[in-house]
Amino acid sequence: MKTNKRILLLLGITIITASFINAVGTSKIEPETQTHKTYKIKALKLPDGLNLAGERVPVEINDVKERMERELLVNTYWQSNGILLIKRAHKYFPVLEPLLKKYNLPDDFKFLALAESGFTDDTSSAGAAGMWHFMKKTGKEYGLEINDNVDERYHIEKATEVAAAYLKKAKESLGSWTLAAAAYNAGNYGVSKRLETQQVNNYYDALLPNETERYVFRILALKEIISHPKKYGFVFDKEDLYTIKETRTVKVDTVVSNLALFAKKFGMNYKELKIHNPWLRENKLNNKSRKLYEIKIPVQ
């Protein structure tokens, strides 16, 4: 009896196993469901004429080519970050472009600002803040008001004026816009000292700290991708891009004891006021010196 039960059990297992093998063997995996058929990670060809502010990138030098390809690949295939940068660039480039022109800075430096901050208000681990990521010391040296109440590193117009002054001074000292961009990351002294020690006179021949080695190439990669997004696989409609609301300016030369109440007087809330005026760091404006401030108010 036990033997018969074992035989029947083994027979059942055999039938089930055979049926499973047959089902798997005869089923078809559709090609379009296979990842390698639908998703391709392609090597990228470097475009002709790569330049920063009109200064040519010598991609015929092997390590220059590899460093350029690295940043182009990283920023192309980090898709979520890429599309966010494209969206934010559409929001802030129209603000930056006339300012760069006003302060006689090459238009390409809007990509430096993007590389620095990603156009967010986050403060770096080193304490750099604002769109142009100024340290407190540097910002104060160039005349920005920086304290717990007001921080003009977050004031787009004023910070851009300071960035232009810094970069033009670096260019005058170091001899090229490319080196000026490198100095924005490593400091004028840091770059000039290494050039002197290594007896070279340009960015692409110098051995610099790793972050600075990548810095200019990241700016170049963002310039290339954002200038030709569809070429690198970024597809979007115009309405997908971010924009800034039109604003008007209210001049204030007195103390504002409560900015939330101040905002309500102009038909907006505290959050809206801070979005358009991130340089206001508290819920008040101390203004003991009776300085004239310009506060942006969204046009209703």
Domain ranges (residues) in the chain: 51-240, 247-298
Residue ranges of the chain with per-residue pLDDT less than 70? 1-37
How far apart CA 73 and CA 75 sit, in angstroms, is 6
How far apart CA 104 and CA 126 sit, in angstroms, is 29
Q: What are the two backbone dihedrals, phi and then psi, of residue 243, each rounded to the nearest 5 degrees?
A: -140, 165
How far apart CA 40 and CA 99 sit, in angstroms, is 40
Longest CA–CA span in the chain (Å) reads 105
> Residue 260: which H helix or E strand, with range?
helix 259-265
Q: Tokens 């070429």 identify what position?
A: 231
How far apart CA 66 and CA 69 sit, in angstroms, is 5
Give the per-residue pLDDT at 19: 52
129 beta partners: 134
Give the per-residue pLDDT at 1: 47
Give the per-residue pLDDT at 2: 46
Which DSSP category does 44 fall into? P
Give the per-residue pLDDT at 4: 53
Which DSSP category does 31 fall into? G
Give the per-residue pLDDT at 28: 53
CATH code reported for the domain at 51-240: 1.10.530.10
